[in-house]
Amino acid sequence: MRIVLVGPPGAGKGTQAALLAQTLSIPHISTGDLFRANISQGTELGRRAKEFMDAGQLVPDEVTVGMAQDRMAQPDAAQGFLLDGFPRNITQAEALDGVLRDNGQKLDAVLDLEVPEEEVVKRIAGRRICRKDSSHVYHVEYARPKAEGVCDQCGGELYQRDDDREETVRKRLSVYHSETEPIIDHYKAQGVVTTISALGSVPEVTERAMHVLGQD
Ligand code: AMP
């Protein structure tokens, strides 16, 4: 299957993407995770991306699109993938349309995770992620690790992302409304969008998503 997850920061895209990708046996491709991996490896791409990420802005398309295309061209993505955080604007959506067209493929589903804005700010302020694997996500109130500051899954150190500070979150939300939301209409025109509520427990949201994907 080829799936895109869309939703504001804090909707739980990363958490759901990791679970869904594992259940469906397809790679979870997160451009945010790819940027964070580049930053921790100290690459030139990571250095360029960090400046935009810390300001709550989108990393320029000429950096992002190539990186996403390279990842989608890896052998493990030949049978399908779940995109998390890409595309994030119309230019990127058109670039993805082009890749799919060239390969004679199409998207099976675009899942639009919906969450009220007050909830987003609460979720992000308490979010902590693992330094070793940023798909391991916790929350100081809603999803506490067994030992404070330590990842249950791999023992990595938990930290708060630089771009999870409140003023950066507000900027990321406004970028989401102005740049990312228009891709939902772009995909509605292709008839592949389903909006699901991202409220409730993690398993409840996963169940809604699996239902939409016809996998329950
Ligand atoms: P995420 O982990 O998906 O919340 O992404 C964190 C940050 O990485 C975003 O706020 C952007 O600065 C950057 N980023 C991730 N994906 C993209 C993308 N598709 N286009 C541009 N910037 C991105």
At 31, which CATH number? 3.40.50.300
Determine the distance separating the centroid of ligand 1 and the alpha carbon of 34, expressed in angstroms.
9
Helix (H, G, I), strand (E, B) or coil at 208: helix
Q: Which of 5, 39, 88 to mutate to test the pocket of ligand 1 (most atoms within 8 A of CB)?
A: 88
**Whole-number pLDDT of residue 118:** 86
Q: Are strands 28-30 and 81-84 parallel, antiparallel or unpaired?
A: parallel
Alpha carbon distance 63, 173 (integer Å): 21
- Count of domains observed in the chain: 1
**Whole-number pLDDT of residue 77:** 97
Alpha carbon distance 173, 56 (integer Å): 9
pLDDT at 167 over 90: no
Mean pLDDT of the region 40-47: 96
Mean pLDDT of the region 43-55: 96
Domain containing residue 59: 2-212
Mean pLDDT of the region 66-87: 97
pTM of the model: 0.90
**Whole-number pLDDT of residue 162:** 86
Burial class (CB in 10 A: 0-12, 13-18, 19+), 214: exposed
**Whole-number pLDDT of residue 186:** 97
